[in-house]
Structure 1
Amino acid sequence: MTPQAPPARTPARVLTIAGSDSAGGAGIQADLKTMLALGVHGMSVVTAVTAQNSLGVHGVWELPQEAVRAQFRAVADDIGVQAVKTGMLASAPLVATVAGLLTEVDAPVVVDPVGVSKHGDRLLAEQALETVRTELLPVATVATPNLDEVADLTGVVVEHERDLPAAARAVLAHGPRWVLVKGGHLGAGSDAVDLLTDGHHQHRFRAPRLPVTHTHGTGCTLASAIASYLALGHEVPRAVELAKDYVTGAIAAGFPLGAGIGPVDHGWRGRDPGH
C-alpha cells in the first residue's frame, strides 16, 4: 500500500491592506514577500494601484470603497485572519472604510500610517490625517510611524533620541495600544534607534546604521514582519524585536534596481552565499 502524505498544516494567516507597488519593492508586494519569508500565509486587500519605479511614484489610482470592502469580506468571511497590517490607504474615505472593517477583526492590527514614499511622493491625502487619528489609530494594536509621520499626525518634531518618548506619547494619545516610533530618520550616531511603548513599558531597539542606499520598502517590510510574528503567537515586544532583526538583514542585503533607490532584500535569509 502506498503511504499517504500527512495532512497539510495550514500556516498562520496574515492580511495586508495596502497599495500596490509596480516595482515590487514596497506596498502589497513587499508585504507578501515578507510574509512568505517568515513562514505565514499572506493575503491582500488592494486599496490603490501605483505606477512607480526606483525613481518615484508616477501615478496613483484609488480603488472604490466597494472593491476594498469586497476583498476584505471575501478573505475574512471564508479564510479568517490571525493578524492584519495596513499600509497605504490614500484618502479619508478609504481610511474610514478600512477602520470600520477592522473593528470586526479579533486579531492584532499593525498600522503603518504611510504618508509619503521613500522618494517624497505623497501617498496619503493631507485631509485624511484626521481620519487616521480618530478612526484608524484607535483600532491599532501597534502603530509604526516614522518621524515624518509622527510630525504629520501629532505636530511633534523629533530632533534627538531624547525626543522619542514625547513623540510616542503624542501618538498613543490617539488610541493605539502600542506605538513603535522609528528613529531611522534621525541620521545621527552609529545606531538607528526605535522606541516601542504602551505608555507603561519602554523598549528600545538598536541596530547599526548601515551605509546603504537601497532601502525602498523598509517601513512596509517592518510592519509586515511585526504582523507576521504576532500571527505566530509572539507578544508585541518580542514580535518587534524579531521583526527589527529581519528588516536589518533585509536592509543590509538591499540591491540596486533601476536608476534610483533599490529595494531591501526580503529573501536575504534564504540566499545561497555562493550566488
Structure 2
Amino acid sequence: MNRSVVVTGASGFIGQALSAALRSAGMEVVPVARRPGGGWRQVSDYRDAPSADVLIHLAEDSDRGRVNAAGSAVSARALQTMEALLHKPFQRVIYASSSVLYGDAESKAHDPADHVQLVDEYSRTKWQCERLVLQRQGNLVLRLSNIYGPGMSANNVISTILRQIPGTGALCVWDAGPIRDFLWIDDVVSAMSAAITSDFDGTLNLGSGAAYSIGEVARMALAAGGEADRPVQCTKSSGRSSCLALDIRETTRALGWCPTTHLKTGLERLIKDRLSPE
C-alpha cells in the first residue's frame, strides 16, 4: 500500500532532495517548511504540520555551533515540537538524529548500542528527542553522518575544500587529522525511502560505513580537480585525536539498503559541476 508521507524541513538540503525523490516515485508526499517558497506547504510552527501515515522529521537546525550558542531555548522548542508531532496520528515517525552522539574519542566504528556522549546543548537535544520518538513502537531514529552533495551547506568542510579548487599554492583546512564518515545525498534519500516501508523500529546509523581524515578528503578533491601536486596545509590543528566512524551493518540488514556512491566518486561529481561552464 502506498503510504502518505509528511516531510518537515522540506526546504533544507536533505528535505528538498527527499521530497523530490518521493514524488518521482509516485508517493503521496506533503513537504512542509517554515521558509516561504514554492514546492512545499509553509507553516509558521512545525507543530501545525498536517498528519499522514508517516512523518520524516528533518526540521531541526543541523548547525551544532549555532544550536549551542542559542542555548536552552532552542532545545526546549525542539522538544515541544517533537511532543506535538508525536501526538498526531502518524503510524510511523522517522527522526533524523546525529552520529555526534557517539563522540569522537574512539577509533572503532560505532554501533547504535554504544553509549552516547552528551557534551553540549546540541547532543543533549538530539538524545532527548530520540527518547521521545522511541517511546512508541514502530518509530525509527536515524543517526546521520556528514551528508554532502549538490545543495549542501556552504559552511561544511567539503564546501571549504571545494571553494579552493581550482587554485594555486596550498589548500588550507583547519585540521587535517579528524576522521569522519561522509555520505552522498542520494544514498541518504534512498535509505530514508526504504525506511518508510520497513518494519524495523529502534535506532540505526546512516552513513557510508567508511571513514576518512580531512586531509585524505582534501587530497581526493585535489586529485579530482587535476591538482594533486598542491599541498594540504593545516591552519588551526588541534593536535588531538578525533575519530567518528559508523558501523552500518544493521542498517543494511534492516532496510535492505547499502550506499552506492564512494566518497571519491562524489567529490569527482562535485568538482566536475564546479568546473563545468554554466
TM-score, normalised via structure 1 length:
0.41
Structure whose alpha-carbon radius of gyration is higher = 2
